[in-house]
Amino acid sequence: MRINCAVCGKHDVTHLYTVGTRHIVRCNHDGLVYVDPQPSDATLNRWYNEGYFTDTKRQHDDYLGYYAYLDEKPLLLSYFKKKIASIEKIIPQGTLLEVGCGYGFFLEAAQGTNFAVTGIDIARDAVSYAKQHGGNARVLSLTPDSFSKNTFDGVVAFQLIEHLRNPSTFLRTAYTITRPGGMVLFTTPNEGGYLKQLLGIRWLGFRHREHLYFFSPKTITALLTKAGFTDIQTVGDEIRFYPIRFLLNGAPNYVRARWLITCIILMKKVLSFIGCLDMMVPLPLNTLVITARKPKEK
């Protein structure tokens, strides 16, 4: 079934790429890039509950999930604490909903702050882990009936909106459940960024089969405006720091050539011998960080 553009509601597209079995198109009216057609809800639910956070069966051009999500925990806790500090500049305290909470690392990072955070996710194993580590998490998909109007002071979602079949419905729901004067914070790969322009079809954002939409500052701003939000800001989250060990362990998931894999193995041995595997190095991600407000009632 063909998919109409989430911004303009029309189906007038130009085919950009075929990645695996997916067709990626661009709307000729507003520039939104998305997968057309898209997988069913049943398929998505199966993907997110079959080793999504520990995938070891990557197919180079058709990735699914993470190869070692738990290994990223210290890095993500540090990252989320910085995001909480950013939220405090907009709203100093209150209740937050994290949609797509995964293993609950944002929930952990928020412990001891001025925010009470509820997390929801459709991945059962991930929610179980979050609850075991003190997170207020539940297995739930965000729908218009999930929460009452004006329930939260803010809604956050990290690397989630590109996974959704109905991003417009998601944003309208986030608007409804946020109190007047509240805020939302989202992150997503930057389809308008330099990495996409440089890599084209090889851009990592295109190579995950669960990514259904690809947003630029222009298109995500259009969707948020359509949902009713104001004070929309989009900034680049350009670089994250990772230990060399983590990058080299994951590198075989992203290359095909046997000689490159052999080089990576040799590099690990050399760096291990000289004691450099835990050195932190910058990795360009060119991610969008989006914040917006729900207007106060007059």
Structure tokens at 36: 């057309």
CA-CA-CA-CA torsion for 164, 165, 166, 167, nearest 10 degrees? 30
Question: Closest Cα partner for 182 from 81, 80, 95, 83?
Answer: 95
Residue 240 pLDDT > 80, yes or no?
no
pLDDT class of 102 with cuts at 50, 70, 90: very high
Residue 75 pLDDT > 90, yes or no?
no
Give the model's pLDDT for residue 207. Answer: 83
Q: Which residues contact 253 (CB under 8 A, 6 or more apart)?
A: 58, 63, 67
Please state the domain extents for the chain. 41-200+215-239+285-293, 242-281
Question: Closest Cα partner for 156 from 213, 115, 103, 99?
Answer: 99
What's the whole-number mean pLDDT along residues 275-295? 85
Greater pLDDT, 124 or 256: 124
Q: How many CA atoms lie within 13 A of 237 on its CB side?
A: 22
Sheet of 13-19: strand order equals: 13-19, 22-27, 33-35, 213-214
Bond from prior residue into 39 cis (ω within 30 degrees of 0)? no
What's the whole-number mean pLDDT along residues 249-276? 74
**The overall pTM is greater than 0.75:** yes
Condensed to tens digits (0 to 9), the pLDDT of residues 150-197 reads 999 999 999 999 999 999 999 999 999 999 999 999 999 999 998 899
The CATH T-level fold of domain 41-200+215-239+285-293 is Rossmann fold (3.40.50)
Residue 298 pLDDT > 80, yes or no?
no
pLDDT class of 51 with cuts at 50, 70, 90: confident
Give the DSSP per-residue string, 157-203. EES-GGG-S-HHHHHHHHHHHEEEEEEEEEEEEBTTSHHHHHHGGG-
In Å, what is the CA distance from 146 to each residue of 91, 99, 159, 179, 196?
23, 11, 21, 15, 35
pLDDT class of 30 with cuts at 50, 70, 90: very high
Give the model's pLDDT for residue 195. Answer: 87
Give the model's pLDDT for residue 31. Answer: 96
Residue 256 pLDDT > 70, yes or no?
no
- Give the least confident one: 63-72, 82-91, 96-105: 63-72
CA-CA-CA-CA torsion for 9, 33, 208, 61, nearest 10 degrees? 130
Residue 242 pLDDT > 80, yes or no?
no
Q: Which residues pair with 241 in a beta bridge?
A: 282
